Amino acid sequence: MAKIDRRILKSQEAIKNALIDLMSDKKFDNITIQDISDKANVSRGTIYLHYLDKYDLLEKLIKEHINNLRELCEATADAEYSEANLPWFKYLESNYLFISTMLEGKGATYFRSQFHEFLIEEFKDEVAGSKGKNAELHEEVILQFIVTSYVGLVEWWINNGMPISPEEMALQVGILLERNL
């Protein structure tokens, strides 16, 4: 695998950060490539060298965060829910500007749907394997209940400025998952 030039990585990071920063101030549809270029202190050509357009940039940024969350899931697959949730909430906290921008509606609804679909994938096997209290319920109902609740809790936590520490959120969400799966 070829090593990527640090200048390229630095430019891409500046471009992504510029988009996130701009989206915290105005709607995505109102952001231009020139706005991103100015904010990132790179030429428009540099942006087009890496991305087709602003939609491609946003899509790649969203996929990057979803993939990071997927890696966290894989790394904590054998842990208890409370323990497995902690790296998630710490990740959400450290990427607060991006996540809050995406969830507050200034971003793309695409992020929320991708986040929801990602969680469906992650919880599908666990719901299929849990037959305790919920044995008489349809698996799809349980799955949608868990995922929609999880997304809602993340939205509440982020949109309210993270009023509870990541550690406490991980613990409480873990207890709720244990009770319902």
Structure confidence by residue, pLDDT tens digits, 150-163? 999 999 999 999 99
Contact assessment for residue 144 and residue 55, using Cβ atoms and an 8 Å cutoff: no
- Percentage of residues in the chain with pLDDT exceeding 70? 95
Whether residues 6 and 76 fall in one domain: no
Q: How sure is the predictor about 1, in pLDDT bands with cuts at 50, 70 and 90? A: low
Domains identified in the chain, total number: 2
Q: With a cut of 90, say whether residue 136 has pLDDT above it.
A: no
- Choose among 100, 83, 16, 92: nearest CA to 56: 16
d(CA 88, CA 169): 10
Range of the domain at 41: 1-51
Read off the pLDDT of residues 81-122 as tens digits, 9 standing for 90 and up: 889 999 999 999 999 999 998 887 655 578 888 999 999 999
pLDDT at 6 over 90: no
**CATH code, domain with 5:** 1.10.10.60
Task: Indicate if 73 and 136 belong to the same structural domain.
Answer: yes
pTM here is 0.87
Residues 86 and 161 in one domain: yes
76 and 46 within one domain: no
My answer on whether 36 and 75 are in the same domain is no
Are 23 and 101 a contacting pair, CB within 8 Å? yes
